[in-house]
Every structure is written in structure tokens, then in C-alpha cells.
Chain A
Amino acid sequence: MLVQVDELNIFVATGGKIFDPDLPTILFLHGSGGDHRTWAMQTRWFAYNGFSVLAPDLPGHSLSDGNAFSTIEESGIWLAKFLNTLGVDKVHLVGHSQGFLTALAFAEHHNDLVRSITAIGTAAEIPVNEHLIKTAETSRDKAAEMMCNWGFGPNAHQGISSVPGMQPIGISRAIMKNNPLEVDLRACAEFKRGSEISKNLTMHKHCILASHDKMTPMKAGLLLAKNMSVNPQIIQNSGHMLPIESPKKTLLALRKFIETIAS
């Protein structure tokens, strides 16, 4: 569906069901250069099983108008407007990579709106190599190639796909190279308050990490889990792109957490 926020058309995937704000709502936030398709294999399950699902393309990404935010804080402020527009007063936040930083920035000021927060394939802070940012500034395609090389784990590199006939690396690269990677990466690099915010979260919390994550390495993920005071769930043989390359395991981990809270 399309939603108007700040007079811009924002595309929001709702998992194949019409959005109903009266159902428990889960908000899925994509990472750098990504879009709602990151969550294709999680959103539909929740939408068909008693939840309302929102997976927006953040401004400037894929099917949404506007420009990408140059800071994580700005995206957190925008998220409040977005949820207000849709009349959502309580939300489960799920963020992948940069999406989790956005969730943190939002949660810091809207603790009361957040039912739970789940970190997937991420860290409290995501330092980004300056060379990668510079590459993205001159060639998004080249940067997307580098990101996919590092971002995907061994199975994806072997061309294994949970959807018959598809190539997850090719799909992600096609999406990333058309999105404002350079702005997203710079915003990640400059966000330094993740550790502090993550230590002060008071809602239900969960952390799902990947054993072969090279973008936000396990060491950083474990530190985040420690900050959040949770036992992380580690998905084996998967890289940074957890929701895409290990969709079933990611969904199961999410279901277990969110269904427990919902019940």
C-alpha cells in the first residue's frame, strides 16, 4: 500500500493482507540499500497468522519517494510520523542491520510505543569502511557487489536458495544498486549512540545473529546482546543477510519470540 508521510508517497508491504491497526503490529525495517523485499519470507507468515505487518521502503528507497535520511536520528523521527499516520499505538520493532539502528533511534524517544524490539544481523554501532562509502559514492553497483560479497554467507555464495530457481545474491545486488547506499552507509558510520541506547531499552528484547556475519561480525553482535541483556540466538551457516539467506530459521526465531509475548 502507499502511505503519505510528509507529503511523500511511501510504499509499505503488508504481507499480502490489508493492514489492520487493531491487530498486533510488527514493523520490519530494512538495512542499507535494501527495501521491503528483505522481509518477503517473514512478513507474509505473520500477516496470515494474526498480525498486521508493515515493511516500508524508507524514503528514497525502491518504491518510496523522497530522499534517504543522512542520519539515523532523522530516520527515527520519521518513523514516529509514519506510525502516527497509520494510527499504530503499539508496535513490535524488527530491524536488520541499519534497520535496527533506526529502531533504536525510534525506541529511545518512544519507549511507550514499542512492545518489543528484535535485532537481526546487526550491532549497536556499525562502523563502515571509508573505502566502501567512497566506492558507493562513485559506483553504487560496485559497492553493492562488495556488500553482497561480504554480506552473504557460504550457502548463498554456493547459489543455494530457499525459493526454487532464484539467486539471492543477484536479487539483493539488483535492489541495492538502485538505492542510496552511500547515504545509508554514511548514516551508519556516523551513528555512535547505539551502545548507550541499547543498554537502556526496557521493552521485550531479542537478538538474532549469524555465525558467518562479516558485515557486523559476531563479536559486535554479542556485545549488543550483552548491552540488551539477552541471550542471542545464533543461526549457523548464515551470513549477514539473515532474513534472505536463512529465511525459515529467521522466521522461526522471530515467531518464537513474538508469539511468546503475544500470548
Chain B
Amino acid sequence: MANSSYYKPETIALHTGYTPESDHGSRAVPIYQTTSYAFDSVQMASSLFNVEQGGHIYSRISNPTVSVLEQRMAALEGGTGAICTASGMSALFSTFITLCSAGDHIVSSEQIYGSTATTLRYTLKRFGIECDFIPINDMDALRSAIRPNTKLVFCESISNPGMEVSNIPEISKCANSLGIPVVVDATFATPSLNRPIEHGANIVVHSITKWIGGHGNSIGGCIIDGGNFDWGCLDEKNKKKFPELTDPYAPFHGINFWEEFGPTAFVMKVRSEAMRDLGAALSPNNAFLILQGLETLDIRMKKHVENTVALRDWLLSQNGVSWVRHPEMRDDSHIKAMFPLGAGSMLCFGVVGERKGGAAFINSLSLATHLANVGDSRTLVLHPGSTTHSRLTKEDMEAAGISEDLIRVSVGIENIEDIKVDFLNGIKSALRTIK
């Protein structure tokens, strides 16, 4: 079982958090398109505000449709609770500001999504939160980077775009032994392929815009509390290490989240503070659409992985393809251990003709879509050399780990033969650029 449900993942994705009899027998999860919820009485209103009972007050804080998605995500990841947000970036930002205050420090993997790196490097710095970036699988580097004011270690289970697999068991062991929680962005993995909490991580964050939703129609994020970190731990001076969670919280009746909620202290603080202050709530309509995707996540991920392996092997045999990168092609033992069912459906490859060849490849595709997203059911491609990184020199791109010829592919669930035909056209075009 996962930690919080005795159902298997496929069943959780379809059933957890909702039963038909509660809502006129509606089999599908209803969309509660409402801002707020009527109170039965003044007493009932007070009891909700005093946290005497659970319930919904205002959809910026919680919403019944969104809660079903949250409860499914918590169960799928084996967590104690979850909160959905308007986007993956707002999930990350909410996580960072819940654990860190001015003067605090974060250690992050150097191989992470560009927008996350920008948040950590620039935005949080403006608020007095510093971040050091390290090669995350180097435990000596990790130990050296942790300072007395470090509040979290951050990594992506499969990094974007480098596709490095973070060694979550080792990272968690190392960070936890020093009293630091590990936050993992598991967007590229999804709980179908890897559940970071089972490997020792403490908080999991997703952009559910991607494979979880899977249909490219809604932006959303999710934070899952592993319920497995001792927020009451003390630092080497015997002072509380996480006063954000263990000191009385004045705006909320002086509540002490750790004492009151224990294994859900973190996620309850996110809901009480970050959701209130940032207001980055997931819309109920988006939650409904993402739920439709989640319900078939498991079978989609199997097909994604199957197609990825087939496309990877086919690309390796093609004239005009210079190189192929996919996590499973590395020899690290932790990758197989963490991803027994396959290490995701992202791959990168290079074509002949460098930047020109890459552009020619993209321009010749008719089935795969050229855009800046991943995790759609459809195959998506991006050539950073002519889009996101087009203003960079060859040298600057190489410093960022991106070569001029790099094509990033989010492999979809179309028939693999159709994908190959499309890519073959692209490769032929790339070959023409060097003739």
C-alpha cells in the first residue's frame, strides 16, 4: 500500500475522495463553481473559523472539487495531505515561503527548471532568502552547502531539461540527518513512476498542468505533505529550527501548527497562510479537467513510457541523429531502483546541422507540436536553440547544458509508427542542411 490508502494507484485515481451518494448520485465529481459556502448558523461559522471542525469557507482557501483532487494526489503520493494551487510555480513559491523567512537559506540542485531557478536565484533573494546551487547527487557537496540557516533541500526527481535523476534516497538520508527537509518537484515522474515520499522525501510538488492533467487544457499545481518530518527538531544551539511551524501563529488564534496538526503541520500552514496571502487557488473548473486526466494517469504513463523507449531506440539507429539522452541510458544504479517502470517520457536528442539542423527538423514536423510545454498526451517538441535560448551564443548555451542541435521531446501516446514517420521527415530535413 501507499502510506495513506489501501487501494492500488489506478483505483485511487478513480475513486479516492468522493462517493456518489453525497451529491445527488452524480458519478462524476461535480464542479463546485462557487466562491463561498453558506453557514448554517453563527455558531457553525465560528466553529469553522476556530478550526473546531473541517469544512469550506471560501474557495481561495478550499473548494470541494479541488479537495477531491487534493485527496487523490495525497493518496497517490502516499502523503498525509495535499493542497492544489493555480500553477506548479505557485505550488513551489508557496512551499518556499512557508518554510523560509528573510535570512534563511535553500540548497538546490543546479539542474532544475529555468523558472524555478529564477525564483530561487533572483525573486527569493529580494526577500532575503538565499540559495546555493549544487550537483545534487554529490553528497559531499550537499553536506558542505548546508548551513545553520538552511531550511530545505530542493531537487527535481527527473530534472528539466537535463533529465538528471536525483538520488532521492541518498539526498533525503543526508539532508534529514542534518535536520533539513527535502522538497522534490516530481512533475516529470508522476506518482505512477516514482513516489518520492517512499524514498525518503518530505514534501512533493507537482505541476499538474503536465502528465497529471495530461490533456494540455489546464494550468495547476499541487503540494503534498509527506507527514514524515519532525518540524519540532532543534538546531545545534538548542533553538527551534522551524519556528514558522512551531511558534504560536498570531494571525490564527496563536495556533501552533506542529502541536495541533503534527503530520499535516506543513500543509495546514500552507493553507492557512500561503493560500490566504498569495491567493493562488486552483479554479474548480480546472480541478475538474485535471481530475479527468488523473483518472487515466496510470494507463497513459504506461503508454508514454512504452513509446519513449521505442522512440529512443529508433532514434539511436537513425542516420542524422548525433546523440540521444534519456535517464535510463545512464549507468547509475539508483535510476533503475527509483524507476522500475521507466524513467519518464522526456528525451532529448541532437541532429546534424547544429542550430540550423535543429530548426529544419522542427519545421518539417507535421504531427508533433512545436511549443513550450511538456506532458501532453500529444507529442511535443521544442528546439531551445531557435526559441527559449535563441539569443544565447553557442558557448552560453553549452554552459547551460544545452547544445545548439538539442531537440527536447515530450513523447505522446500516439501510435509510435506515426511518430517515427513524422520524426523521419524531420531528420531528413536536418540532413539536407549539411549537404
Please report A residues at the B interface, Cβ cutoff 8 Å: 11, 13, 16, 35, 37, 40-41, 44-45, 48, 62-63, 145, 149, 155, 157-167, 169-171, 173-175, 247-248, 251
Of A40, A149, A170, which contacts B227 at CB under 8 A? A170
Given A170-B3, A173-B3, A161–B261 Cβ distance below 8 Å?
no
Q: Which of B12-20, B122-130, B158-166, B349-357 participates in binding chain A?
A: B12-20
A214 → B minimal CB distance (Å): 13
Contact with A along B254-275 (1 / 0, CB 8 A): 1100011111100100010000
Contact across chains for B17 and A161 when beta carbons are under 8 A apart = yes
Can you add 10 more A-B contacts, CB < 8 Å, to A164-B56, A171-B262, A251-B53? Answer: A62-B262, A158-B17, A159-B5, A160-B17, A161-B71, A165-B70, A167-B71, A170-B80, A174-B3, A174-B228
Number of interface residues of B (CB under 8 A): 52
Q: Does B88 touch A at the CB level, under 8 Å?
A: no
Contact across chains for A165 and B50 when beta carbons are under 8 A apart = no
Q: Cα distance A154–B289 when bound, in Å? A: 27
Q: Cα distance A48–B52 when bound, in Å? A: 8
- Chain B: CB-nearest residue to A168: B4
Contact across chains for B7 and A160 when beta carbons are under 8 A apart = no
Contact across chains for B80 and A171 when beta carbons are under 8 A apart = yes
Q: Does B51 touch A at the CB level, under 8 Å?
A: yes
Contact across chains for B4 and A16 when beta carbons are under 8 A apart = no
29 CB-based A-B contacts, threshold 8 Å:
A16-B51, A16-B255, A35-B262, A40-B260, A44-B47, A44-B50, A45-B53, A48-B46, A145-B1, A149-B1, A158-B15, A158-B18, A159-B4, A159-B5, A159-B12, A159-B17, A160-B71, A161-B17, A164-B54, A164-B55, A164-B67, A167-B4, A167-B79, A167-B80, A169-B4, A170-B3, A171-B264, A173-B4, A247-B54
Which has the most chain A C-beta neighbours within 10 Å: B53, B67, B72, B228? Answer: B53
- Chain A: CB-nearest residue to B22: A160
Q: Does B74 touch A at the CB level, under 8 Å?
A: yes
A27 → B minimal CB distance (Å): 18
- Chain A: CB-nearest residue to B74: A167
B241 → A minimal CB distance (Å): 16
Contact across chains for B260 and A165 when beta carbons are under 8 A apart = no
Given A44-B51, A159-B12, A160-B19, A165–B62 Cβ distance below 8 Å?
yes
List residues of chain A with CB within 8 A of the CB of B27: none
Contact across chains for A41 and B80 when beta carbons are under 8 A apart = no
Q: Cα distance A248–B1 when bound, in Å? A: 28
Q: Cα distance A31–B177 when bound, in Å? A: 31
